[in-house]
Structure 1
Amino acid sequence: MPPTSCSFTCTSAPAEARELVAPLVAREPIWLSVVASTIEALATDPSRCASPRWWVGRDLWGRAVAALMHTPPHPLHVGYATDHQARALARLLLAQGDSLPGVGGMRGPAEAFAAVWTAVRGGSARTATDLGVHVLPARPRLRFEVAGRYRRATLDDLDLTDRWAADFHAAVGTPGAPASTRPAIEAGRLGLWLDDWDAPVSMAYASVAGAGVTRVSGVWTPPARRGRGYASAVVAALSDERMNDGETCLLYTDLANPTSNGIYRALGYRRVGDGVILVFE
């Protein structure tokens, strides 16, 4: 077998997935942030996804070298794999008669998976989103004054943050129903920016950390409140708070959105890689 070949183990049990993928998460925490945080979320609340699957590839020496997952209705996610390994999993799933809405994650392997899939199934793979992968290497820098202050959300804010999460979900076009923000609030990982009258005007939340890496997401300011720096302020404050707990902050951006990319770059986030979401048509 080629040196990039591997044999895949599949599981639908979060506890088993955690054990299988742990060595690879420790080596590649940035790329496997989505996989690691999803495992933890489903270990806590299995009802969030009816039929998750994780595939962990092992090389000839039994070492974990690849990790991919599918949590319907989302596309299959390539957490970490070579192009060769992604093509191998595509052939395996095709032989099993699997059906998938698309594939995302690491750009090269996701495109390699899609090429095999569409060659057999027909149709095409449309690029839904080109993603930038960004890491914060030092403390965030908010370069201008923003009125108001930061605080962690509490369960008294749940109706508001769930509504904002639904608005964010609709704006980015994520498939399926939006998840409740309750777990993030209860874990102390959802932050709000308040205006001078202590009214919430922006939010962001951070995933459960995997191997010390947390993913900042769900950044939302209602349209009527935009243009005042609130998103910059809440992301800076939440990122600083996570760094106080020893975590590395990661976030994904839609490369077609110059506003959000500019905000995070100004705060000090640096692009370290690319991802993609492809939809099968």
Structure 2
Amino acid sequence: MPRTSCTFTLVADPAEAQARFATLVEREPEALSVIASVTQALVTDPSRYVEPRWWTDADASGEVVAAFMHTPPHPLHIALATADQARDLAALLADAGGSLPGVGGQRTAAEAFADEWAALTGATSTVSMEVGRFDLPTRPRLAFEVSGSFRAATDADAPLVHRWHQQFVDAIEGGGRAASPLTQHLADGRVGLWEDDGRPVSMAYASPANGGVTRISGVWTPPDLRGHGYASGVVAALSTARLDAGEACMLYTDLANPTSNAIYQAMGYRRIGDSISIRFDA
């Protein structure tokens, strides 16, 4: 059956993008979690990224069925798309003569985009990370006792939280990028700390809920404090707090890290999909 070319709508205004994605976020909140939270942050602070762009594709009724986002210097993010939609957007962007550092998001679509981009531009593509998407269908549980207790971080914790968040981003990305501030997360009580013997030993934060779903992220324990279960404690407690607030929880985890995958699954998180990050080199 012949392939039908897509007609994409390009959006450059965060508020307009948020409005265009609203119905899709309600229908597919987990798949759209990254786009929804990043777009919401840009509505609040448009200076966070320079020249962000979003693309949508709609069905015959005009309903948005595909969602793409590019916030330089990050790779293009594919939240929801078919392989054909991804290939068509790659062709459109390659024809426009633009450049991209890479593509990430939904595995099948991202791989299709990368193949088309490489064929049309001559770039080489390399998988940089494979990520599992997990949801939490039940209340979290800890299979072992963790010394210490949980509390919500406050403004007084801001220097520590921002320092640890930068260390988390450096560890994930290899350094070179300033981490986005967690000021609003702190103000909204969405950053959690695990304390032991009166001092913070681990942290995590929860994105603003979109479509009723929050994403647990930024899980960080300094290297010299690892091996005590602190990360498990803070993730379980923060997840419980967000469930009690009426939100569903999800998270992403590096599939190359069997330890974190096992910890989250033992806690009750369930793998429901895969994402991938692919780097482009000229």
Change (3 A) 1:37 1:157: same
SS in 2 for 1:202: strand
**Structure 1: 4+ residue segments shifted above 6 A:** 1-4
Contact 1:8–1:57 (CA under 8 A) maintained in structure 2: yes
Is the counterpart of residue 258 in structure 1 residue 258 in structure 2?
Answer: yes
Please give the alpha-carbon distance, in whole angstroms, between the structure 2 residues aligned to 1:73 and 1:6. Answer: 26
Q: CA deviation at 1:11?
A: 1.0
Q: Partner letter of residue 151 of structure 1? A: R
Q: CA deviation at 1:176?
A: 2.7
TM normalised by structure 2 equals 0.96
Contact 1:7–1:59 (CA under 8 A) maintained in structure 2: no
Aligned to 1:44: 44
SS in 2 for 1:274: strand
Q: How does 1:209-248 map to 2 (within 5 A)?
A: 209-248=209-248
Please give the alpha-carbon distance, in whole angstroms, between the structure 2 residues aligned to 1:40 and 1:120. Answer: 33
Contact 1:26–1:211 (CA under 8 A) maintained in structure 2: yes
Q: CA deviation at 1:47?
A: 1.5
Aligned to 2:81: 81
Structure 1 residues 126-170: Cα deviation after superposition (integer angstroms, max 9, x where no partner) = 000001000010100012111111111111111111110111111
Q: CA deviation at 1:6?
A: 3.5
SS in 2 for 1:85: helix
Please give the alpha-carbon distance, in whole angstroms, between the structure 2 residues aligned to 1:3 and 1:30. Answer: 28
Q: CA deviation at 1:60?
A: 2.0
Contact 2:219–2:235 (CA under 8 A) maintained in structure 1: yes
Aligned to 1:172: 172
SS in 1 for 2:180: coil
Contact 1:4–1:82 (CA under 8 A) maintained in structure 2: no
Please give the alpha-carbon distance, in whole angstroms, between the structure 2 residues aligned to 1:239 and 1:2. Answer: 46
Identity of aligned residues (%): 56
Please give the alpha-carbon distance, in whole angstroms, between the structure 2 residues aligned to 1:241 and 1:219. Answer: 15
Contact 1:74–1:176 (CA under 8 A) maintained in structure 2: no
Aligned to 2:69: 69
Q: CA deviation at 1:27?
A: 1.2
SS in 2 for 1:188: coil
Q: CA deviation at 1:97?
A: 1.3
Aligned to 1:150: 150
Aligned to 1:190: 191
Aligned to 1:14: 14
Structure 1 residues 175-213: Cα deviation after superposition (integer angstroms, max 9, x where no partner) = 6321112121112110000102x2100000011111011
Aligned to 1:124: 124
Aligned to 2:139: 139
Q: CA deviation at 1:118?
A: 0.5
Contact 2:170–2:177 (CA under 8 A) maintained in structure 1: no
Q: CA deviation at 1:21?
A: 0.8
Aligned residues: 280
SS in 1 for 2:68: strand
SS in 2 for 1:72: coil
Q: CA deviation at 1:5?
A: 5.0
Please give the alpha-carbon distance, in whole angstroms, between the structure 2 residues aligned to 1:8 and 1:181. Answer: 33
Q: Partner letter of residue 35 of structure 1? A: I
Please give the alpha-carbon distance, in whole angstroms, between the structure 2 residues aligned to 1:242 and 1:17. Answer: 26
Aligned to 1:269: 269
Contact 1:194–1:201 (CA under 8 A) maintained in structure 2: yes
Q: CA deviation at 1:3?
A: 8.2
Q: CA deviation at 1:2?
A: 6.5
SS in 1 for 2:47: helix
SS in 1 for 2:246: coil
SS in 1 for 2:61: coil
Q: CA deviation at 1:74?
A: 0.5
Q: Partner letter of residue 186 of structure 2? A: I
Stretches of structure 1 that go unaligned for 5 or more consecutive residues are none
Please give the alpha-carbon distance, in whole angstroms, between the structure 1 residues aligned to 2:100 and 2:8. Answer: 18
Q: Partner letter of residue 91 of structure 1? A: A
TM normalised by structure 1 equals 0.96
Change (3 A) 1:42 1:93: same
